[in-house]
Structure 1
Amino acid sequence: MTSAPAERRLFAILLRLFAAVALTAMFAIVKLAAAHGVTLFESLFYRQALALPLVLGVIAAGPGLGSVKTRRPWAHVWRTVLGMTGMALNFLTYLLLPLAEATVLLFTVPIFATILSALVLKEPVGWHRWSAVMLGFIGVLIVVRPGGGGLVPHGVAVGLLAAVVVSGVSITLRQIGRTESASTTVFWFTMLSAVPFGLAMPFLGKPHDATTFGLLLALGLFGGLAQLALTASLRLAPVSVVLPMDYSSLVWSALIGWLVFATVPSPHLWLGAPLIIASGLYIVYREQKLHREKTTGAVATD
């Protein structure tokens, strides 16, 4: 298999950087909307419902709406249940914690994905990745400072639970991706979540002023653009190339937290975050290295 051309990789990196900015903006808007009286349920609904036209438009202009046909509807239902649970926990994490600290906790997704791969999928995990897992948890302890007047405990618990669920989503997507295209998965996730949430809106939704609806519109727009950019980046370049760009969101979350919410990350965050980031990057590096070795071995035996 030939490697992707340099210009495609560069575009993939730019897309991933854009996604990091868009996601950070989306989470900041969730906090702002909550200050205007928007409930967690409403944020989830508008995130999905307002992204749906954007997703439909991109699919119609690209592979066509016929491409979303699937023979694995229950796999998409399960992915939607996990995905919406993870999104709700993500949103709640950002409501309970400052932007930068919430972002760092969600950097632990590769760590929990490694643990779930070993426990659930029974995949072999060597001492390299287990060492990276331990390094990541040391970083978490530094950031959280348990018993040392650090972050609120229930916020940390929600953030780590969110990372566990999102890591479950990543494993599910890995399995679905063997037979389903990325656009098909994005379509069904958006559709299967927006419709039931829409049916509940007459009972759980509330009226809001124009400013608040503007925030909700921006929430759906940034969320949809981020999801499409994340998906497109993986079509243009390997995960090992684009995933390091996700960690740039720490810069944006610290900057937006300072400018919008007047919060400054603690020194402990800057000490622990590099350990968590190094852990995640090394786990991805090892997975990609092992995948290449398996592929080479399979080709050699053909």
Structure 2
Amino acid sequence: MPSDRIMLGLGLRLLAILMLSTMGALIKLVETRGAHLVEIMLFRQLFAIPFILAWVAAGAGLASLRTRHFGMHVTRSAVGLTGMVFNFGAVLLLPLAEATTFGFTVPIFATLLGALVLKEPTGWHRWGAVLAGFVGVLIVTQPGSGHIPLGGALVGLIAALFVAIVAIQLRQMARTEAPPTTVFWFSILSVPPLAIGYLFVAAPHDWQTFALLVAIGLVGGAAQLALTAALRFAPVSVVVPMDYSSLIWATLYGYLLFGALPSPWTWVGAPIIIASGLYIVWRERQRGLARSSPVTAADEPPTGA
């Protein structure tokens, strides 16, 4: 693969992570202005749809959205919405840097689920990485110290678990469904239940708050496109390390918008979690090379579920 295409893939991935970090900051900011979690989720899904439709129209065409596996999309949407509750909830309950750090445990949960649910062979190398990752989590949370809310930490870990579950779902769905089809149906199917929930929590806002809500959807939709486009130019194992740049953006947004900086324990634990995740990715890459089967977009952990 030409190096210039790989560099383009890396650049797109970095751009996607910046936009996702921006979305997280907007979520936390709009909550301080009185927006409800259900309301935030509705705007995130609703205003991402134009980006998705434009993406599909420019590619395979709208006819490609037909599916013979509607029930599978319904299940994926239910799990994805549940995961989004925990993902957004972690952002609301925790400082941005800590919420981001817990998100780095996705490869750890993916390894656990792969071994326990899919019965994938998992050697002591990756089990060691899983153990190291959870040691990093304990360092960040400092249980019993009151350092960060344990409820928020639990929500953050459950969010990462659901992202891993969705990743397994997408891997299975990729046998019959193209990525644009899956993304489209998740967005469309999630809007009606969120709209019903919105009827019970709707509240008046000023125009700036509504503008922030719309921006969450637009930025999130654009990030989804950038994530997908990055995989057209570079393999998953090459672009995944770029995801850890989100800790830089989360720290910057946390300080500039909310006057919050990560604790020293976060800076100690986060590198351990990051290193365990990167090692798991590297081991999976080695196993993939041994099997001579390339890693595909279906193996990509879906950011934000």
Q: TM-score normalised to the size of structure 1?
A: 0.94
2:114 aligns with: 117
Tell me what 1:193 maps to. Answer: 190
Aligned match of 1:205 = 202
Aligned mate of 2:69, from 65, 72, 76: 72
Q: Which blocks of at least 5 consecutive residues in structure 2 are unaligned?
A: 294-305
Among candidates 200, 203, 227, match of residue 230 of structure 1: 227
How many correspondences in the alignment?
A: 293
Report how far residue 204 of structure 1 moved.
Answer: 3.4
Counterpart code for 2:126:
R
Residue identity in the other structure for 1:96: L
The question of whether the paired residues in 1 share the 8 Å contact of 2:38 and 2:197 is answered with no
Per-residue deviation, residues 209-230 of structure 1 (Å, max 9, x unmatched): 1010110011111110111111
2: CA distance between counterparts of 1:185 and 1:240?
A: 22
Does structure 1 retain, via aligned residues, the 8 Å contact 2:26–2:212?
Answer: yes
Name the residue aligned to 1:279.
Answer: 276
1:6-32 deviation digits (Å, cap 9, x = unpaired): 222111111110111111111111111
Q: What residue number does 1:300 align with?
A: none
Whether 1:107 and 2:104 are equivalent positions in the alignment is yes
> Residue type matched to 1:87 in 2?
M
- Looking at structure 2, the residues matched to 72 and 84 of structure 1 have their Cα atoms a distance apart, in angstroms, of 19
Q: What is the alpha-carbon distance in structure 2 between the residues aligned to residue 37 and residue 69 of structure 1?
A: 39
Partner AA of 1:73 in structure 2? F
Matched, 1:81 2:78: yes
- One-letter amino acid of the counterpart of residue 191, structure 1: I
* Residue equivalent to 1:55: 52
Give the superposition deviation at 1:199.
4.3
**Which residue number corresponds to residue 299 of structure 1?**
none
More deviation, 250-259/70-79: 70-79
1:172-187 matched pairs, under 5 angstroms? 172-187=169-184
Report runs of 4+ in structure 1 exceeding 4 Å deviation: none
1:233 CA drift (Å): 1.6
Measured in 2, the distance between the counterparts of 1:141 and 1:98 equals: 17
- Distance, in Å, in 1 between the alignment partners of 2:282 and 2:206 is 48
Cα deviation 1:235-263 (Å, max 9, x = unaligned) = 32211011101110000000110011000
- Aligned partner of 1:14 in structure 2 is 11
Aligned partner of 1:259 in structure 2 is 256
Residue number in structure 1 paired with 2:218: 221
Residue 119 of structure 1 and its aligned partner are, at CA, apart by 0.7
TM-fit CA distance, 1:200: 4.2
Map 1:20-31 onto structure 2 (within 5 A): 20-31=17-28
For the residue of structure 2 that corresponds to 1:252, the secondary structure is: helix
- Cα RMSD between the aligned structures? 1.2
- For 1:135 and 1:173, how far apart are their aligned partners in 2? 27
1:144 corresponds to: 141
Task: In structure 2, give the amino acid aligned to 1:156.
Answer: A
1:65 is displaced (CA, Å) by 0.6
Query: How far is 1:146 from its partner?
Result: 0.8
